[in-house]
Amino acid sequence: MTDHVSVREVGLRDGLQLVSTILPTKTKLEWCQEQAAAGFREIEVTSFVPPSILPQFSDAAEVLSGALAIDGLLASTLVPNLKGAVRAMDAGARKITFVLSASEAHNQSNVRRSTDESLAMFREVMEERASRNLVDEIQIAGVIAKSFGCSLQGSVSESRVCEIANLMAGYGADEINVADTVGYANPVQVERLLQKVDSVTGAVPIAAHFHDTRGMGLANVAAGVRVGVRRFDASLGGLGGCPFAPGATGNIATEDCVYLLESIGLSTGIDMQALLEVREKLNNWLTDERLEGRLSKVGVAKTFS
């Protein structure tokens, strides 16, 4: 196992989709630049969804264009359907994360189609990439939301999550992201499911996305580390959640996640002090929003190095 861990900032997408403040495009790009300068190599910068549904992302193409100009940064974008993926490709995306839900109830609430229909659309996205001869130019990740439970339907079958992961990998996904959209997961469950998913996806890398809704987020990151996962999503200030999933508040705070990983001897390549300075700026960018995270309040321990 490698001792390097990739932390992907998702605050500009998952974080901003649940806040009432519409952040100016210029500020979004400043945020991207600041975190890239702090050592982040991947940031999910926007979402290609209808502006009428999420006006926060009406500037998606402009934000992506600006982020693509940041040296050394992989600017990823989230899409829920083929139309969004086509828009992202047209805008020059180099990584697209296609999200569907293992929960039928949530998938219907989120994108108004069955999970199987979303899987078929994911395959269409892969075919669209191939038809444009962009297989080597654009990465496509499959995100499986509600992998650990659902606030709409309750339990979610682990075998169903594995079936979806296997199909996505077979369609050519470059990454499988297993997501705890509403903070239902616990460390034992995380270890068990991530190992099962890994067993059916071959060499495709596994990423994990945890929410801290019930205070389990960082414990779940540690559980993921124990079974070999080395890619994690996090949101600065603990912002975020799905607007179509009741109770889906609070991603794990990026600053706390980086601190955890570095503290246990793993390398993220991120400058902790620079990250905390960006976190302080977030207070000014989102003055009316509630921000979470412990590290920004108390700072690093004297023993941290």
Q: Which residue do the tokens 């955890």 mark?
A: 260
Q: What is the dihedral of CA 29, 30, 36, 38, to 10 degrees?
A: -160
Are 109 and 152 in contact by the 8 Å Cβ rule? The answer is yes
Mean pLDDT within 226-243: 90
3-state SS string over 149-175? CECCCECCCHHHHHHHHHHHHHHCCCE
What is the DSSP annotation of 214-270?
TS-HHHHHHHHHHTT--EEEEBGGG----TTSTT---BPBHHHHHHHHHHTT-B---
The per-residue pLDDT for 257 is 98
pLDDT at 290 over 70: yes
pLDDT in tens, 3-25: 999 999 999 999 998 888 999 99
- b/e burial code for range 199-216 (CB count within 10 A of at least 16 → b): ebbeebbbbbbbbbbeeb
Mean pLDDT within 88-112: 94
pLDDT at 241 over 60: yes
Q: Which residue do the tokens 């979470």 mark?
A: 292
CATH numbers and ranges of domains, the chain: 6-292 (3.20.20.70)
Q: 164-173, 224-233, 245-254: which range is least confident on average?
A: 245-254
Measured distance CA(31)–CA(34) in Å, rounded: 5
Rg (CA), the chain: 18
What is the pTM for the complete model shown?
A: 0.95
| Alpha helices for 81-114 (secondary structure H) | 82-90, 104-111
Measured distance CA(252)–CA(273) in Å, rounded: 19
pLDDT in tens, 174-224: 999 999 999 999 999 999 999 999 999 999 999 999 999 999 999 999 999
Tokens representing 176? 């499988």
Query: Which residues make Cβ contacts (< 8 Å) with residue 299, sequence separation at least 6?
Result: 276
Measured distance CA(154)–CA(177) in Å, rounded: 20
pLDDT band at 228 (very low <50, low <70, confident <90, very high): very high
- b/e burial code for range 48-72 (CB count within 10 A of at least 16 → b): bbeeeebebbbbbbebbebbbebee
Q: Point out the residues that are catalytic.
A: 242
Share the mean pLDDT of the chain. 94
For the chain, what's the residue count?
305
pLDDT at 247 over 70: no
The per-residue pLDDT for 109 is 83
- Secondary element (H or E) of residue 124: helix 115-131
